[in-house]
């Protein structure tokens, strides 16, 4: 107890230096836990880019390729799905709902996705959260468009604004469907998923703008107006992919087997969760880099603590000598120095946790509204407590460096005045 009181008084006597050391440890702990929390939530958000969908169906290719173009709007399919095949699949008794997807066009570099109103009803992301509108409503007309939050923000679009879709998925297209403009009827809330960077239109709208096209270019001498196109049969001939929701999890492999062995055309059904995990594993190096950076920051904090204690030892040699002269043993000196370091580290951990949760409570709604990333606020996980335990143990080990040095100071050395 006397050693503890002595350590507290010694720290108070050096409160400015101790305060700077404590601040360094506090910021290091807050950054370590913050990066870890952000890393886990980013991984969770990535894994829940699409949630509640049991199967994704597309032309036979690789599972990651199908995931990339159907969910992340990256790349292009090897082939399309015949509309009749899609109709046969959704009639399977275990299919509860379906969302058809058609890709191939763009608007100022943003992918245009043709779908049905069921997309806004059944699509889920981030722990089965539904899509919500910040303005407007789902499309109902052939030439209605619903914008992702990032599209509306970057292009400055508002409701009732006319937009023109370009042919192809490139950022620059010389061929535009300018005779059939779309009207913005809805703008979605930010989700932090590829939904934010997509323009959503009705499948019939995709069919209407291509009804007077053939082979990827306008048919010479054939020009069908927007109003006339609405009166024609706009059921699509093919779609790019489809998302399926099943009546039960038990039927997942049964329906998957049925689709993978579909005789009319080569199709593939993937489990989005498994494919997302495969894709995340390919990018694991970035996740490890984040953790490495935070650990280096903690190492810098501990190094600063040791440096501050070592620097103060020269000023405290007379203090150590006086303690020795009144009966303090070398072990007491070691315990004093190590106790100060561990105390600073423990207090820094507590303050770091407090700082992190204060920032989370303040920043959670801002991060969600601006970046679409929902950071869950709950108690530190077992892994995070483990990191803090390792940090505390590391502080004990590094405190032995100045502790052993002080331990070796002799009474005569401490009382000697050096010129």
pLDDT at 419: 46
User: CB–CB of 73/226 below 8 Å?
Assistant: no
pLDDT in tens, the chain (419 residues): 555 566 666 666 666 677 777 787 888 888 888 877 777 777 776 777 888 899 999 999 888 899 989 998 888 888 899 999 999 999 999 999 999 999 988 998 899 999 999 999 999 987 788 999 999 999 999 999 999 999 999 999 999 999 999 877 655 555 788 889 999 999 999 888 889 999 999 999 999 998 876 665 666 667 788 888 888 888 899 999 999 999 988 899 999 999 999 999 999 999 998 888 888 777 667 667 777 777 777 777 777 767 766 666 666 666 666 666 666 666 666 677 777 777 778 888 889 888 888 888 887 677 665 555 566 677 777 877 887 888 778 777 777 766 666 666 644 454 554 54
342/137 Cα distance (integer angstroms): 58
pLDDT at 352: 87
End-to-end CA distance of the chain, in Å?
37
Q: Which of 99, 42, 47, 102 has its CA nearest to residue 69?
A: 102
> 51: which strand partners?
124
Tokens of 337: 């120095």
- Residue 213: Cβ-neighbour burial (10 angstroms; 0-12, 13-18, 19+): middle
Tokens of 358: 């204060």
Please write down the HEC assignment for all residues of 52-76. Answer: CCCEEEEECCCHHHHHHHHCCCCCC
Residue 412 has phi, psi (to 5 degrees) of -65, -40
Spatial CB neighbours of 224, under 8 Å, sequence gap ≥ 6: 211, 212, 232
Rg of the chain over all Cα atoms, to the nearest angstrom: 32
pLDDT at 174: 54
Tokens of 372: 């679409």
User: CA torsion 61→65→66→69, rounded to 10°?
Assistant: -140
CB atoms within 10 A of CB 32: 24
346/352 Cα distance (integer angstroms): 10
User: CB–CB of 167/177 below 8 Å?
Assistant: yes
176/194 Cα distance (integer angstroms): 23
pLDDT at 288: 74
CA distances in angstroms from 317 to 3, 270, 333, 341, listed in the order given: 17, 70, 11, 17
Residue ranges of alpha helices (H) inside 189-247 are 203-209, 226-230
């Amino acid at each position: 107890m006397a050693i503890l009181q002595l350590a507290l008084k010694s720290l108070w006597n050096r409160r400015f230096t101790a305060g700077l050391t404590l601040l360094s440890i506090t910021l290091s702990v807050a950054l370590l836990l913050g990066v870890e929390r952000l890393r886990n939530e980013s991984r969770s958000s990535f894994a829940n880019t699409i949630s509640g969908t049991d199967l994704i169906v597309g032309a036979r290719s690789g599972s990651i390729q199908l995931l990339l173009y159907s969910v992340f709007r990256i790349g292009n399919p090897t082939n399309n799905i015949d509309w009749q095949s899609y109709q046969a699949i959704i009639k399977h008794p275990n299919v509860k709902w379906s969302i058809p997807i058609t890709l191939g066009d763009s608007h100022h570099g943003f992918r245009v996705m043709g779908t049905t109103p069921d997309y806004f009803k059944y699509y889920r992301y981030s722990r089965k959260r539904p899509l919500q509108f910040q303005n407007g409503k789902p499309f109902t007309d052939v030439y209605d468009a619903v914008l992702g939050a990032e599209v509306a923000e970057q292009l400055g679009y508002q409701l009732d604004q006319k937009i023109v879709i370009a042919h192809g998925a490139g950022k620059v297209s010389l061929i535009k469907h300018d005779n059939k403009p779309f009207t913005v009827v809805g703008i979605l809330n930010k989700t932090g998923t590829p939904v934010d960077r997509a323009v959503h239109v009705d499948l019939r709208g995709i069919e209407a703008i291509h009804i007077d096209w053939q082979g990827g270019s306008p048919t010479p001498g054939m020009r069908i107006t927007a109003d006339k196109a609405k009166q024609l049969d706009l059921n699509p001939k093919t779609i790019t992919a489809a998302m399926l929701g099943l009546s039960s999890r038990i039927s997942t492999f049964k329906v998957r087997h049925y689709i993978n062995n579909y005789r009319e055309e080569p199709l593939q059904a993937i489990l989005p969760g498994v494919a997302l995990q495969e894709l995340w594993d390919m990018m694991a190096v970035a996740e490890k880099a984040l953790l490495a950076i935070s650990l280096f920051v903690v190492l810098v904090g501990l190094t600063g603590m040791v440096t501050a204690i070592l620097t103060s030892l020269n000023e405290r040699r007379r203090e150590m000598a006086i303690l020795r002269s009144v009966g303090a043993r070398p072990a007491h000196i070691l315990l004093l120095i190590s106790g100060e370091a561990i105390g600073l580290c423990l207090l820094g951990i507590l303050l770091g946790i407090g700082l992190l949760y204060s920032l989370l409570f303040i920043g959670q709604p801002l991060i969600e509204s601006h970046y679409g990333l929902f950071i869950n606020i709950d108690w530190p996980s077992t892994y995070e407590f483990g990191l803090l335990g390792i940090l505390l143990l590391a502080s004990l080990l590094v405190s032995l460096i100045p502790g052993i040095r002080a331990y070796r100071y002799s009474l005569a050395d401490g009382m000697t005045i050096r010129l």
